[in-house]
Amino acid sequence: MSIPRPVVNIGDKVYVISFDGSAKAKREGGAFGAIIWKLSGWTVEKAASGYDVDLTVNEAEYRGLLLALDLLNGLDVQRLIVCGDSNLAIRQLRNKMDCKAQGLQLLRKKCWDQLKTLPKVELFHVRRDWNASADLISGQALQRQAGLPIVEEQTLADLVTLNRLEELLDPTSGKLTNDEKAQALPVRTRSGTRQEAEQSVDEEIRPVESPSRHLTPDVLAEMVVKRIRMERIREAQDEESWIHNLKKFIRGDMTHMTSRDASNSSKLAQQYEENENGLPFYHSRGDESSEDRSAVMKLVVPETLKDDILHHYHSSLEGGHQGIGRTYHRVRQHFH
């Protein structure tokens, strides 16, 4: 279905919310993240994450939206565009899906009580890969089991780099003159009228080509994601004593290591190598060439990240279409 794109005038005070929630059963808690974007420059006005115990994934999604709505306090919001990758939460908020769970009913009501106070609100479901910025901060909160306001400049810069909602803008669409193009900024959304919204409730926002971009967003995002993932894995590895000791032993640093730790590390060291980023990799054979060895190297994943790796692999575009058993065996090919 072709989804009409309403026009946002440059002078309009438009804010975009992106939110996300995640939970892991073994950790008995859930995390959520929220970002307030200001158009038309797509700058981060505010961002924060939160964490609470005994949260389901759907409850965490709603908590992410509630956090975002709280962040709006003090802002002059004339129009609000809400983007989330939870189809359930968005459809329930649009009264297109029954909300039977008692806990979700309360959260839904809290969201609506705040949304009703705003002049104009539009709710849109987006694909998960277009919600990477909010997913980042909720994932970080889940890892450290604590939320916080996002104020660090590097993290804010990462959010901007990962933001793919920006690509939903189509500055060349429509039959506008050059002067008109300078005054209007079309936004790719799901509908422009109530009737169109009813017809397109199951549609996701779709990306449009942006020929004016000087840098490829996928390349930038991939670089940031890799760096962030390496930092998270490195931190988690250092929290697991045997991995931390093994890394020190491989580097030849045995200070503050007991003789038992050094002995245990020496027995393992022949099967591990450390790459240039300080991450240990496992290989099962010792007689292959360097080229062959690099092909069978497996990243060492600490216990605290195993559920995350399995979850993200299974939720990927490829993994989501196969059984959890096949996903597990695919993960074993790349991780140790």
Q: At which of 213, 246, 268 does a domain end? A: 213
Instruction: List the CATH number of the domain containing 205.
Output: 3.30.420.10
| 166 lies in the same domain as 308 | no
Most confident range, picked from 214-223, 278-287, 306-315: 278-287
Inside any domain, residue 32: yes
Of 213, 242, 265, the position where a domain reaches its end is: 213
| Co-location of 162 and 38 in the same domain | yes
Residue 175 lies in a domain: yes
Question: Within a domain: residue 56?
Answer: yes
Same domain, yes or no: 163 and 208:
yes
How many angstroms separate the Cα of 156 from the Cα of each of 9, 62, 336? 26, 23, 32
The DSSP secondary-structure symbol of 131 reads G
Structure-token pair, residue 87:
């189809």
Share of the chain above pLDDT 70, in %: 62
Q: Which domain holds residue 106?
A: 7-213
Query: Could you give the CA distance from residue 92 to residue 105 in angstroms, rounded to a whole number?
Result: 9
314: confidence class by pLDDT, cuts 50, 70, 90: very low
How many other C-beta atoms lie within 10 A of the C-beta of residue 225?
Answer: 15
pLDDT at 331 exceeding the cut of 70: no
User: Between 132-144 and 153-162, two packed helices, what is the crossing angle to 10 degrees?
Assistant: 140
Domains in the chain, number = 2
Residue type, position 139, single letter:
G
Based on the domain organization, do 153 and 258 belong to the same domain? no
The pTM is what? Answer: 0.56
323 shares its domain with 233: yes
Q: Strands, DSSP E only, in the chain? A: 7-9, 14-24, 29-38, 43-53, 79-84, 121-125, 184-186, 272-274, 280-282, 298-299
Are 234 and 203 in the same domain?
Answer: no
Are 40 and 185 members of one domain?
yes
Both 235 and 269 in one domain: the answer is yes
Domain membership of residue 218 (yes or no) is no
Residues 239 and 178 in one domain: no
Q: Is residue 15 a contact partner of residue 74, using CB atoms and an 8 Å limit? A: no
d(CA 232, CA 143): 8
Q: What are the DSSP calls for 4-68, one per residue?
A: P--EEETTS-EEEEEEEEEEEGGGTEEEEEEEEEETTTTEEEEEEEEEEES--HHHHHHHHHHHH
Do 62 and 138 share a domain, yes or no? yes
Residue-wise pLDDT tens digits, 195-225: 333 333 334 444 444 333 444 555 555 555 5
In a domain, 206, yes or no: yes
Burial of 135 (0-12, 13-18, 19+ CB in 10 A): buried
Considering the domain architecture, whether residues 209 and 233 belong to the same structural domain is answered as no
**Domain assignment present for 198:** yes
Going by pLDDT thresholds of 50, 70 and 90, the confidence category of residue 182 is: very low
85 inside domain: yes
- Asked if residue 224 is part of any domain, the answer here is no
User: What average pLDDT is seen over the chain?
Assistant: 72
Same domain, yes or no: 103 and 252? no
Q: What is the pLDDT of residue 51?
A: 95
Q: pLDDT value at position 54?
A: 86
Task: Using the 3D structure, point to which of 149, 178, 213 is the last residue of a domain.
Answer: 213
> The tokens of 146 are what?
């604590």
